[in-house]
Structure 1
Amino acid sequence: MSEVLDNLRYSEEHEWAQQGEGQIVRVGITDHAQHLLGDIVFVEFPEIGTAVSAGDSVGSIESVKTVSELYSPISGTVTRVNEALEDSPELLNGQPYGEGWIYEVEIEGDYASATAGLLDAAAYRELVGE
């Protein structure tokens, strides 16, 4: 059974968004996604300073099984990437909601508006059959 945290918002493509300080939102992949991918060996990040729109492909995640697109769950400007994943991509498997975050985005407006199109925890559990 996959872990789903109540304080996050989720995309149907299995990314999560978490409110940070000010206009910053942290993004990663869900526990469900990392289970589907298997052992993750490489992460391609979006470039810092890149403007992304919700639904855009912003990078990829490579596992021993496959390569999967990484989609942005929200719109904004990439401000930071998790450089720890360059040397330790397996953090996505072990801590997808903690040390395995992928990048941060600065949004326009407030968090509720920026994530309005995303699923809450209950809806995401229903989507993945949990």
Structure 2
Amino acid sequence: MGTADVEAVWRIESARIVAALTRFTGDFGLAEDAAQEAVAEAPSPVVDLNRAVAVAMASGPARALAIVDELIAANRLPGSHLVPTVRGELLARLGRRPEARAELELAARLGANQRERSVLLRKAATLG
């Protein structure tokens, strides 16, 4: 197993670690700290996106939206449905419904999984 393989596993596992910490402890600050450590250990756009989710839970959607917008500005996950999915959820939490709907519809167009697309479109429809 080479360095690239280890880094790929780390990126995948960092998302699981953050989710597990949050689920089991309810401590969103701890999840945010773990996500920040993952960024330091194995920086990648996916890890940054996971950190944005943890930040949203711990500190609110405005701070998290700034992280996601930085990813977009740097073109770090082009064509990924994950970025507009997270961005749409954050915008919805901020009450920015038209923007949230547009992001979730974009995520549905980019998604490869029909079930995921259906969920995203249903969520977008609830936003008016």
TM-score (norm 2): 0.24
Bigger Rg, structure 1 or 2: 2
Q: Report 1 or 2 for greater relative contact order, CA contacts < 8 Å, sequence distance ≥ 6.
A: 1
Q: Report which of the two has the higher share of helix.
A: 2
Q: Report which of the two has the higher share of strand.
A: 1
TM-score (norm 1): 0.24
